[in-house]
Amino acid sequence: MGEPSAPGGCDADTGHFGMGPSAKRVDGLIVGIAPVRAPYARAVTTDTTTSRRARASTSKASEPASEPRVDARLVETLVETILERINSGEIPIGAWLRQERLAQDLGVSRMPVREALRQLQARGIVEIIANRGARVRLPSALEVIEVYSLRGVLESHAGAAAAQLISTEQLKRLRGAIDTFKKIIADLESQKRSAATTTRVRWLDAYRIFHSVIIQASGNDTLADVLTGLDNLLPTAVTWAGLGVADVRRLKRSLAEHEQILDAISAGDSERTRRLFITHNEDNSALMVRALDQLVSRAEANAAGH
């Protein structure tokens, strides 16, 4: 074995540490070895610290600058405005939503429009495609089936509760919605010129009143919030297509279903109300799935035209 390079140092030949002046043997074991720092330890520590600082500096430099804060109330207003245009059909299913054009139309900068589109994407109404932009999204057949299946369960629960809790005033509002349905159908059958242009708005308003009154009568506010979220997944422009765009036969069928629900609630029959809501949503689901092929063709045409 070679000589240690220094007391307590490392042997040049074997790489073992020497005993050093304070070390001694006890029953064949070496005790009291003075700690020896590897000659490269300080350099490694210094290099590692420097490397970490460099990486941190590089990371900060590569982080994008934070965007200026956007007025949350303005964004909320833009979301509702864009959603209303989609539901009314002014912005068709499949249409591209150009930020610059929307900002100009709405009289705002592009930044709140961008945030509004992100929120609509989170709701499932808009899809944002990399390097292309945002467009109004068409739900799949599976999504339609899932939404109406869940809606049937929730509305049947609300209807059963409403049959026991509904007030006289709320029943009056339900009958008013039924009367509106009947008036719309009568106008279409008489071929009034105004009927074709106002049917959609009038029918959907009456539809919303009918269903919202029943949810209110159930006394379950959480249920109302959940159903609103489901409605957002199927824009009105999509659900209206399921009714055949003012097809009188389909509107009459929908009227009959709503009259049956009203009769069951008026009679306080919770179980019948529950069954009718399940059937109503199953029928709507079937109508929507059949309408999807036509909607897909329209969406592709809208996308190609923008």
Q: Please say if the pLDDT value at position 106 is more than 90.
A: yes
pLDDT digits (tens, 9 = 90+) for 20-76: 444 444 444 444 444 444 443 444 444 544 555 555 455 444 545 555 677 899 999
Distances (CA, A) of 79 to 55, 82, 109, 183, 299: 40, 5, 14, 33, 21
Last residue of a domain, one of 121, 136, 151: 136
199 lies in some domain:
yes
Amino acid 160: pLDDT: 97
Statement to judge: residues 244 and 160 lie in one domain: yes
- The answer to whether 127 touches 134, Cβ cutoff 8 Å, is yes
Statement to judge: residues 226 and 98 lie in one domain: no
Instruction: Name the domain count of the chain.
Output: 2
- The answer to whether 262 touches 114, Cβ cutoff 8 Å, is no
Statement to judge: residues 94 and 149 lie in one domain: no
Q: Mean pLDDT across the stretch 165-193?
A: 92
- Domain of 90 in residue numbering reads as 72-136
CA distance 258 to 252: 10
Q: What percent of the chain has pLDDT over 70?
A: 69
Statement to judge: residues 220 and 121 lie in one domain: no
Amino acid 111: pLDDT: 94
Statement to judge: residues 196 and 114 lie in one domain: no
**132: CATH:** 1.10.10.10
**How many other CB atoms sit within 10 Å of the CB of residue 10?**
16
Check residues 139 and 43 and name the one with the higher pLDDT. 139
Q: Mean pLDDT across the stretch 175-193?
A: 89
Helix (H) or strand (E) holding 136, with range, is strand 133-136
Statement to judge: residues 145 and 252 lie in one domain: yes
Statement to judge: residues 240 and 107 lie in one domain: no
Distances (CA, A) of 241 to 3, 140, 230, 245: 94, 14, 17, 5
Statement to judge: residues 83 and 196 lie in one domain: no
pLDDT digits (tens, 9 = 90+) for 153-166: 999 999 999 999 99
Statement to judge: residues 212 and 265 lie in one domain: yes
pTM over 0.85: no
86 confidence band (pLDDT: 50, 70, 90): confident
Statement to judge: residues 260 and 162 lie in one domain: yes
